[in-house]
Amino acid sequence: MKKVTAGKDALGEFAPLFARLNDDVLFGEVWSREEALSPKIRSILTVAALTVEGVFDSSVEFHMRKAKENGVSGAEIAEILTHLAFYAGWPKAWAAFRLAKNIWTEKESGAEALAARSLFPIGKPNTAYEKYFKGRSYTEILSGGDLQVVNVTFEPACRNNWHIHKAEKGGGQLLLCVSGRGWYREWGAAPVGGRHGGNKRGRQALARRCERQLVFAYSRRKAGTGLLHRMAGACFRRGIF
């Protein structure tokens, strides 16, 4: 969990003890117990408690934003507040909805928007390979070794340049589009689009308009296509694609 400094920022000089208890104990020791209760559930409980108490100052706005950050969707917060209306009172629900609507309908852009929709960490800007891309992309290594799995995230209109994966003696890549619409193109052929796409060994390919893709890169025959296909199958069974 990201360290919270709200107490120190607001009351660090005026009430240092309260600020420390807020940041280090409430958030540092209680909220951080993710093995006991997930951040998403804690956010739902906190927003519900503040709504029932009729607290609609900056603290409930903070916790609504934290709830959104912790994975509570707009549809979920609407259902939660509708349910609470019958127990906390209709006026309190109206007040909570006014805040929630503004927060959950805010336009996000760039990395924030992509991270909010991502199943995997989007990682850092792809500076190491930026010369091979038109537009901005991000990479996060999910697994290393003989079978490397990398999550590659494309901002809108970002695409790869033409390139070749040479793998005549074992090794290569399998590209799986996990969000958006993925496009790839072999030299001399028409672009191919869909929910997922492949990249044949030793061919030139152009990957474009895939919001996020997993790259399975293998370097030895023992970590070859059989293992790749089993991993891809496991991802499909878990509903990732």
Model confidence pLDDT, tens digit, residues 103-145: 998 765 566 666 666 667 778 888 888 888 888 888 888 877 6
Q: Which ranges of 25-129 would DSSP assign to H, the alpha helix?
A: 39-53, 58-69, 74-88, 90-104, 110-117
Residue predicted with more confidence, 211 or 178: 178
Q: With CA atoms as reference, report the closest residue to 200 among 210, 186, 214.
A: 186
Contacts of 212 (CB under 8 A, 6+ apart): 114, 118, 119, 120, 122, 151, 152, 153, 154, 177, 178, 179, 180
Distance CA 6, CA 209 (A): 39
Calculate mean pLDDT across residues 185-210: 54
Q: For the whole prediction, is pTM greater than 0.95?
A: no
Q: Which residue has the tokens 């890169």?
A: 217
Q: Which residue has the higher pLDDT, 240 or 165?
A: 165
Token reading at 174: 């399998």
> Which SS3 state, helix, strand or coil, does residue 120 take?
coil
Tell me which of 43 and 177 has the higher pLDDT: 43
| pLDDT score of 201 more than 60 | no
Residue 156 identity? P
Measured in whole angstroms, how far is the alpha carbon of residue 103 from the centre of its chain?
Answer: 18
CA distance 12 to 110: 32
The answer on pLDDT for 30 being more than 80 is: yes
- CA 221 to chain centroid: 32
pLDDT tops 80 at residue 225: no
Query: Is 151 in contact with 177 (CB distance < 8 Å)?
Result: no
- Buried b / exposed e over 195-208, threshold 16 CB at 10 Å, is ebbebebebebbbb
Q: What pLDDT, on a 0 to 100 scale, did the predictor assign at position 99?
A: 93
- pLDDT value of position 157: 72
How does pLDDT run across 204-217, given as a tens digit for each residue? 444 444 555 656 55
